[in-house]
Chains A and B, each alone.
Chain A
Amino acid sequence: MATTALQAPGRWASALAAVLSLGLVFAAWQLGGADSDSQALSLSLLGGALFGLLLQRSRFCFFCVTRDFIEQRKPDGLLGIIAALAVGTLGYHLVFGAFVPDPSSGRLPPDAHVGPLSWVLGLSATVFGIGMALSGSCISAHLYRLGEGAFASLFALFGALIGFFLGFLCWNPLYLLSIQQAPVVWLPAWQGYGVSFLLQIALLGGLACWLLLHVQASTEPRVVARNLRQLLFGQRWPTWVGGLLIGFLATLSYLRVGPLGVTAELGSVARTAADGLGWLPERLEGLDSFSGCATAVKEALLSNNGLFILGLVVASWASALLAGDFQPKRPRVSELLRNLLGGVLLGWGSMLALGCTVGTLLSGIMAGALSGWVFAVFCLVGVLLGLRIRRYW
């Protein structure tokens, strides 16, 4: 595969990629302004673009890397996720110290994705994991794959909208049954930032040590890059390179705009549409008081998360064009159905878990939220279950 990956993309592909990149820069410039709100919009678009580039180049797909390890015992991808979590943990703890000097005050840092711990989180993370396995990736990977021409991902994303709607319908009973009384556990509140940081790094380090035992000799030779373009858009980057950079991006994003997340906009679109049609309960109890990939009935067309998603998809498209990874395929009907159904599970799971692998797992664990760890464990359980189902479908 290495030789094909280094083939220079066609002239049209390069030109289109250049137009897309210029379009992103122009839009970011147009959005920006002297006030913090317009800066947040502009930064969200740029942050999304950078995230899309990193996801596409380093194949940062939670499902793919998990399956690599489960089926082929290849740990490289999972190590990339651990790299992101380690760097992000360091960055978040540094920023927290500036935002909230005393973590024991009983207050949570603003916007950080620290969610309630109840059996609903376990259930929704498991369902999300099954959805990942069925549809072939999590929501962030569906978004960047859209840029690679995977049109089946559109079905998964449409399914996610339906899933969100079903999640909203389930919210009130589940909230009153369990979520309302659930503890919201933020590790730094227990023994301070130092202990929380060391605890997480020790855990991540332990996991990395165990995964490294499984490293195999690479079957894919690294090709020497002879210019910048080959270096950036030749072979895929090792996942850990993407992981380290995503850790930095997550920290800077939290500092300037908010934690990384990819479902707030999807959820808001679903909520706005369902609300407009009068299909939602009058009030979603307590939902808006949690930090996480918050959904809202949309009042403005442009939102931070919407622009983040837009930047993600456009940049991964440009990146895929330059790297020769843009390969539109006509999906089979069964694949479309699997994407749609998987998408419904993804949407339902991420609505009730207040985020997905990015919003709850990545941004949650980096923030020292126990809910992030719980999501990770149950999501893995879901992927294992989903892979079993895949054997028959």
Chain B
Amino acid sequence: MTIKNLFGAGLLAAATLLQAAQALAASDVLVSTEWLEKNLNNPKVRIIEVSVAPGVYERGHIPGAVNFAWHRDLVDPVRRDIASQENFQALLRKSGISADTTTVLYGDNNNWFAAWGAWVFDVYGVDNVKLLDGGRVKWEAEKRALDNRAKTPVAGNVTVKAANKDLRAFLPDVLAAAEKRSDVQLVDIRSADEYNGKVFAPQGVQELAVRAGHVPGAVNVPWGQAVAADGTFKSVEELKKVYGAVGIDGSKPIITYCRIGERSSHTWFALKKILGYDVRNYDGSWTEYGNAVGVPVVNVAGTVWGGK
């Protein structure tokens, strides 16, 4: 082996190492499963599971993770709203989140509700919140360890800000977009059948709207188009291509919606956090809009509500 060859091999090795280090570094909004596994014992990192299915966390979660129940912890259980500022702050402190904590959210079903959690964190102005790219599915697929002992962390001292209404779309905002009174683009992330009004809601859900279809002017990009085969978010270029194909390129403000506002948080995360567009999530979504009186609706399939 000549000196030249040795030198070349050394360069190659150095380049590989550098690449690996880059892959390991946490991005501003996403962390890889590998990064998280290396940071399980990092006292500045707090891991939180927000899963759709109850009981998943208890039987095995990422070691050290704290459980948030989306239908109790992150919402107001009486009126339809996100958790109050006071309750949310108490929840975060109880979970050991301080001002300098990096919070990593993950969950089942491709991080649907973890992304919704990230949106609630955003509304309350909490910094350093990231999603585990690929969520629970990827962690399990890579055969990384799970634990079933729940952790009760030492209380943190985070202070959350007042809810930032600019990050949240309400019915009047969506109506203004539908009636072309504002220059806002709507992204409907439900299935094509829901969007076209063939069905009122997906199988197995009780909360229905009494009208089928979508908000006039909305484009349909089902949430799954933002994820790759292994459940991680697609790359920035691919995401730009997917949304650019229907005219969503970040040149105008965007509102995302779905049925109850949770899955649309997943798309909100892709557009807002990864692509950096100006996006609000409409958490009232179709269960509010499709039940609202007197609002315009596009129902391609023409399905008529028959009281069932």
Contacts and interface: CB of A to CB of B under 8 A. Distances in A.
Majority secondary structure of chain B interface residues (helix, strand, loop or mixed): loop
A110 B150 CA distance: 13
A99 B54 contact: no
A277 interface: no
B140 A35 contact: yes
Contacts of A181: none
B58 A101 contact: no
Contacts of B150: 98-101
Interface residues of B, number: 16
Nearest to B204: A299
Contacts of B149: 98
Contact of B148 (A35, A255, A282, A283): A255
B38 interface: no
B182 interface: no
A68 interface: no
A350 to B, nearest CB: 22
Interface in A275-325: 282-283
Contacts of A98: 148-150
Interface in B34-67: 54-55, 58-60
A36 B58 contact: no
Contacts of B143: 34
Nearest to B146: A36
A36 B152 contact: no
Nearest to B308: A282
Contacts of B152: 101-102
Contacts of B55: 110-111
A238 interface: no
Contact of A100 (B58, B206, B308): B58
Contacts of A111: 55
A36 B60 contact: yes
Contacts of B308: 282
A109 interface: yes
Nearest to A101: B152
Contacts of A255: 59, 148
A214 interface: no
A101 B143 CA distance: 26
Contacts of A102: 152
Nearest first, the 5 A-B pairs at minimum CB distance are: A110-B55, A99-B58, A98-B149, A110-B58, A101-B152
Interface of A: 34-36, 98-102, 107, 109-111, 255-256, 282-283
Given A99-B148, A100-B150, A101-B150, 11 more contacts: A36-B59, A98-B148, A98-B149, A98-B150, A101-B151, A102-B152, A107-B69, A107-B72, A110-B58, A255-B59, A283-B206
Interface of B: 54-55, 58-60, 69, 72, 140, 143, 148-152, 206, 308
10 contacts: A34-B143, A98-B150, A99-B148, A100-B150, A102-B152, A109-B58, A110-B54, A255-B148, A256-B59, A283-B206
